[in-house]
A and B are shown apart, each in its own frame.
Chain A
Amino acid sequence: MDLSYTPEEEEFRARLREWLAKVLPGLPPKPSPDDWPGRRAYDLGWQRMLYDAGYAGLHWPADAGGRGATPTQHLIFLEETEKAGAPYVGANFVGLLHAGPTIAAEGSAGQRARWLPPVLRGEEVWCQGFSEPDAGSDLAALRTRARRDGDDYVVNGSKIWTSHAEVADWCELLVRTDAKAPKHRGISWLAMPMDAPGITVRPLRTLAGSTEFAEMFLDDVRVSVANRVGEENDGWRVTMVTLSFERGTAFVGEVVACRRVLGELAREARKNGRWDDAVLRRRLGRLNAEFRALWRLTQWNVSESERSGGVPGVGGSVFKLRYSRARQDLYDAAADVLGPEALDLDSRWTLDRLSSLSYTIAAGTSQIQRNIVAERILGLPKGR
């Protein structure tokens, strides 16, 4: 058990810090949350800066244009960029963390050459067309169908919860190509150009009032067969391969941010007098224990994946279950620190409290995560 970093890791950290200190003051002002073209330009601009400095695709394999960094270096990158207040991955999320790695793992040489460099250089944005109105937790029940017509697929159906659909160039799309096969065996993975005729994007407003994602209606959309990654009807496996890019680093920046917020809460409570409330104080103390432990669990999972050569451990679901609840507890505590001010949408933390409600739902609900932990880690029988 060694929590110290090697000289190489420390050097990586030092160079990164130095670079961040140099470039962050020169960033343009952050666009407003509703300014989607502005957000796209800002996020792509940041990605371009990362690319020029040699930090793009840090965790991608070198033969896909990435840096082949170790999981620990990736952890350091996410920790330091968060601490320095650097921009988030934002609109580059799907390209860098899902579609890109999928193409890197399963795409042909031509597909890799076409799609990977623009993601790394901050030139193209990807979105994800997986969930459907009737296929949420049961994703493999998806019904959007693709019919073969010459060199094209003709796609009909609808997708939901698609982030950045308004500003994306490409969509990684899961479609049903064989309606008769068992549900996991009739799915294919397509790269759909978002400027193709027949795509209608309708933004969805979240309970926090913002339009973070959209519904997408697909009406006779033609997608070239050459845009299929992997074999026809093998799309489920192709998609799951990418989930193995999760190396315990998914929430590194957020845990760092939560620990900063916790300190801000304590100092705010000192200032407004609520620190005298022992119940609130002890709650904050317990949250400190909680987020310290989550940080340690992150380091544990990262070390595990480093030892296994980047193969993920089983810790992802365990971590997400605990972290998603801790994040909600944190912002509930924030509301108690604020008191009546917590009802003011302009108060610090109020919008964060609202958006924290998505954490136990998005990317696999807590109920699904518990099934995964029970069946895949504990070996309990499938059933209901």
Chain B
Amino acid sequence: MDFQLTDDQRALRAGVRELLDRRFGRERLRAAVDAPELDRALWRELGEAGFFALRLPEAEGGVGLGLPEAVLAFEEAGRALLTGPLVATHLAAGEVSGAATGETVVAAVDGTLVEWLDEADVVRGDVTGAVAMRSADPLTPLHRVPRAAPPDPVAALLIAAEQLGSASRTCELAVQHARTREQFGQPIGAFQAVKHLCSEMLVRVEVARGAVYAAAVTADPLDIAAAGLLADEAAEHGARDCLQVHGGMGFTWESDVHLHLKRAWLRARRGQSAAEAEETLAEELAAVAPGPRT
């Protein structure tokens, strides 16, 4: 057993982080808030970097990697708040022409929501009767549709990976702020009340990380259901605590904290609902005498 990142996986993560820092840094993020449109050039660059073709076999022009690598890439996307129908396009690689290379932008019905419908070249699922919403997330245009699409476990796992990345980022932002912001003559991070908020954020991140990475290895729907629950908790609760640590500044539009919180709320509404995931996991308990799989 070696449940740690391999050197190649570390390199992949670093590569994606470097690409997103360079092409979707803070300035670009804030520009996207003011004008939420899909950056086609960035989309093609993601395609060239293999973001969409990551799990496609090499014989089909893909990178030939697996779910763990995809999870690491989506974790970075979540961390950077990268915009666009990333999961739908990734899942369409090999099935929709041009998706793998980033030439084609693919959107999909997820539950009763569709992200980026107007910007997409191809839409998967039934969008008859789609109605535009005034999206709570300024970085994600949304439509609602009357007929729900069944949740896809791989999509749920990649969304959980994005939640994990966001949770890890809001923990970092809270800690950075707590180290530098001074009140009563000392950094607020020296106060236990603030320290303990930050510690709990990290605990939620690390527990979610174990669940998400393990689900990436096993691809077991129950592991994915568990990963989704814990990653949603880490992202939503983490963004709220990050906001609290930032005080009044956290409540402003110019802070990035609300962007993480709103996206976390949106992702939590995608895929399987918390109630369904909990019922699935409860059913498993009653069905068999479970021992930890080894």
B271-294 vs A, Cβ < 8 Å mask (1 yes, 0 no): 000010111111111101111101
- B211 at interface, CB cutoff 8 A: yes
Which residues from A are CB-within-8-Å of B210? 293-294, 296-297, 299-300
Q: Of residues 260 to 315 in A, which have CB atoms within 8 Å of B's CB atoms? A: 260, 262-263, 265-267, 269-270, 275, 278, 281-286, 288-290, 292-297, 299-300, 302-304, 306-307, 315
Interface size class of B (residues with CB under 8 A): 35 or more
Q: Of residues 351 to 384 in A, which have CB atoms within 8 Å of B's CB atoms? A: 367, 369-371, 373-375, 377-384
B178-209 vs A, Cβ < 8 Å mask (1 yes, 0 no): 11000000110111101110111011001111
A145-159 vs B, Cβ < 8 Å mask (1 yes, 0 no): 000000000000000
- B214 at interface, CB cutoff 8 A: yes
Number of interface residues of A (CB under 8 A): 67
Chain A residue, CB-CB nearest to B280: A285
A328 CB to nearest chain B CB (Å): 15
Which residues from B are CB-within-8-Å of A293? 207-208, 210-211, 226-227, 230
- B1 at interface, CB cutoff 8 A: yes
Which residues from B are CB-within-8-Å of A265? 285
- A5 at interface, CB cutoff 8 A: yes
Q: What separation, in Å, do the CA atoms of A292 and B187 have in the docked complex?
A: 37
Is A282 touching B279 in the complex (CB atoms < 8 A)?
yes
- B217 at interface, CB cutoff 8 A: yes
Is A373 touching B286 in the complex (CB atoms < 8 A)?
no
B268 CB to nearest chain A CB (Å): 14
Which residues from B are CB-within-8-Å of A263? 285-286, 288-290
Is B6 touching A285 in the complex (CB atoms < 8 A)?
no
- A9 at interface, CB cutoff 8 A: yes
Which residues from B are CB-within-8-Å of A262? 285, 290
Q: Of residues 1 to 52 in B, which have CB atoms within 8 Å of A's CB atoms? A: 1-6, 9
Q: What separation, in Å, do the CA atoms of A275 and B209 have in the docked complex?
A: 30
A241-254 vs B, Cβ < 8 Å mask (1 yes, 0 no): 00000000000000
The SS class assigned to the A binding surface is helix
Which residues from A are CB-within-8-Å of B53? none
Supposing A282-B278, A288-B282, A370-B195 touch, asked if A321 and B223 sit within 8 A by C-beta, the answer is: no
Partner of A370, one of B196, B227, B285: B196
The SS class assigned to the B binding surface is helix
B168 CB to nearest chain A CB (Å): 12
Q: What separation, in Å, do the CA atoms of A304 and B213 have in the docked complex?
A: 14
Supposing A294-B207, A299-B210 touch, asked if A289 and B202 sit within 8 A by C-beta, the answer is: no
- B99 at interface, CB cutoff 8 A: no
A20 CB to nearest chain B CB (Å): 14
Listed A/B pairs (15) with beta-carbon separation below 8 Å: A1-B213, A1-B217, A4-B1, A269-B286, A288-B226, A289-B281, A293-B226, A296-B211, A306-B2, A315-B206, A318-B202, A321-B203, A322-B203, A371-B196, A378-B199
What residues make up the interface of B, taking CB atoms closer than 8 Å to A? 1-6, 9, 68, 171, 175, 178-179, 186-187, 189-192, 194-196, 198-200, 202-203, 206-211, 213-214, 216-218, 222-223, 225-227, 229-230, 275, 277-286, 288-292, 294
What residues make up the interface of A, taking CB atoms closer than 8 Å to B? 1-6, 9, 13, 72, 75-76, 79, 83, 255-256, 259-260, 262-263, 265-267, 269-270, 275, 278, 281-286, 288-290, 292-297, 299-300, 302-304, 306-307, 315, 318, 321-322, 367, 369-371, 373-375, 377-384
Given A297-B206, A297-B207; 13 other pairs, CB 8 A cutoff: A1-B9, A2-B217, A263-B286, A275-B286, A284-B282, A285-B281, A302-B3, A303-B3, A318-B202, A318-B203, A321-B200, A373-B202, A384-B192
